[in-house]
Structure 1
Amino acid sequence: MESWRTVYDFADRLPNFGVMAIPLLLAAGGFGLYQHHKASTDETLMPVFGITKRRYQMLMGRILMGFAGLIALIVIPSQLLEYTRTRQAYTQRQYQTVEGAVADFDPMPYGGHRHETFTVAGVPFAFSDYDETDYGYNHTASHGGAIRAGLRVRIAYLPTERKNVILKLDTLAARPPDGR
C-alpha cells in the first residue's frame, strides 16, 4: 500500500529572519566600531589620510552603519513583501498543482553553482540550496533533499516570472505492511 507523505509545506514557513538580520548586525557592528573609537584617546596621525586613527575608525563605523542601513532598507521590505505575496497566494489557493513522476532530473552538485532541475508532467522546476530569493522548497538531493529521478510527486506551485516556486511537495511513500 502506498500513501502520500508531505515533505515540504509553505504553511509551516516563517519569514526569513536570518537574511533580514544580516544587515542589522552589520549596522550594529558599525555602531559599535564608532562608539568604541569615539571614546578612544588614540590620536596617532595616519599619514595616508591626514587624520587621526581615532577619527578614521569613527568614519569607518559611520560608513559601515550607513551601508548596512541602506542594505536593510532594501532587503527587509523585499523579504517581507515576498513572504506576504507568497502567503496570500497560498492561502487563497492561487497556485497550480501537478502530479506525476520526476523526469529530466539534473541534480545540483554538492558544491552548488547551479540549480537542481526536473520536470513533472512537462512542468519545469529549478531550485538551489543557495538561492533563498523565494519561499519555496529548495532542498537539493546533494544536500539530503527528497527529489529523485522517477519519484512520484504531487506539487503545488506558484508560477512566477523567474520559475515555478514549489509551495507544497508530497512524495509517494510505501506504507508499512501493518497499515500504520
Structure 2
Amino acid sequence: MNSFEIIYDFASIDGFKKFQILLIPVGIFLFLKFILFLIENDEEENLFKDPEHQKFIVKIIQYLSILLFFLFSILFGYGYYKTNDLYHNAKFQTEGFVTNFHPMPSGGHEDETFTVNGVKFEFSDFDISGFGYNNSKSHGGAIDANKYVRISYIRIKNSNQILKLEVRK
C-alpha cells in the first residue's frame, strides 16, 4: 500500500503563508509611528535638529507604506484568486521518481530543477512571486533525487508551479 505524506498544499493554510509579505509595510508604518513619537517628545531638542521637516518626511514615508500595503494586498489577492481558480479548474498531476535532480546552492543564484515522469519543475527559495512550493533541498525542502512523489501543478508562464506536493512514506 502506497501512503503519502502531504508536504505542501496550496488549498490549505500553506497558500496563505505568502501573504506574510504584507507585514513589511505594516512594520515600516509602526516603526515610523515610533519615530514620530520620539520627534514630538524630544524635550531637550538636541536629538532632532529640524523636527518639523523631519516629521513631514516621516509622515510622507508613512503614507507610502500604507500605499504599499494596499498595492501588495491587491496584487497578492489577485494572484491568489488566479492561482486558486487554476488549481480548481486546470491543474495537472504527475507521480513518479524524482530524476535529473539539480539542487539549488544554499546561497541561491541557481534554481532547483528536477523531473518527475517527464515533467520538468524548477523553483527558487528566493522567488516569492507565485503561490507554489519553493523550498529547496539546501534549505530543508522535501524533494531529493530518487524520491517517489505525487505532484499537483499548474502551468504559469511556461513553467510548472507545484501546488500540492506529496512524498511517499
TM-score by length of 2: 0.84
Change (3 A) 1:64 1:162: farther
Aligned residue in 2 for 1:10? 10
| Alpha-carbon offset, residue 166 of structure 1 | 0.5
State the alpha-carbon separation in 2 of the partners of residues 163 and 23 from structure 1.
30
Pair 1:142-2:138 in alignment: yes
Aligned residue in 1 for 2:60? 63
Change (3 A) 1:134 1:150: same
| Alpha-carbon offset, residue 149 of structure 1 | 1.4
TM-score by length of 1: 0.79
Larger radius of gyration: 1
The alignment of Structure 1 onto Structure 2 pairs a total of residues equal to: 167
SS of equivalent residue, structure 2 residue 3: strand
Pair 1:80-2:77 in alignment: yes
Q: Give the partner amino acid of 2:58.
A: G
RMSD over aligned CA atoms reads 2.4
Q: Give the partner amino acid of 1:17.
A: F
Aligned residue in 2 for 1:96? 92
Change (3 A) 1:125 1:165: same
State the alpha-carbon separation in 1 of the partners of residues 166 and 20 from structure 2.
26
SS of equivalent residue, structure 1 residue 11: coil
Aligned residue in 2 for 1:178? none
> Structure 1: any 5+ residue segments left out of the alignment?
47-51, 174-180
State the alpha-carbon separation in 1 of the partners of residues 52 and 43 from structure 2.
10
- Given that 1:30 and 1:63 are in contact with CA atoms closer than 8 Å, whether structure 2 keeps it comes out as no
State the alpha-carbon separation in 2 of the partners of residues 148 and 34 from structure 1.
50
Aligned residue in 2 for 1:33? 35
Residue deviations 1:68-105, cap 9 Å, x none?
12322321211122122222332x24201112221221
User: Percent of aligned positions with the same letter in both sequences?
Assistant: 34
State the alpha-carbon separation in 1 of the partners of residues 132 and 166 from structure 2.
13
Q: Give the partner amino acid of 2:11.
A: A
State the alpha-carbon separation in 1 of the partners of residues 100 and 164 from structure 2.
20
State the alpha-carbon separation in 2 of the partners of residues 121 and 141 from structure 1.
20
Aligned residue in 2 for 1:161? 157
Q: Give the partner amino acid of 2:115.
A: T
Runs in 1 of length 4+ with deviation above 6 angstroms? Answer: none
Structure having the larger proportion of residues in helix: 2
- Given that 1:119 and 1:125 are in contact with CA atoms closer than 8 Å, whether structure 2 keeps it comes out as yes
State the alpha-carbon separation in 1 of the partners of residues 131 and 41 from structure 2.
44
Q: Which moved more, 1:109-118 or 1:151-160?
A: 109-118
Aligned residue in 2 for 1:176? none
Aligned residue in 2 for 1:19? 21
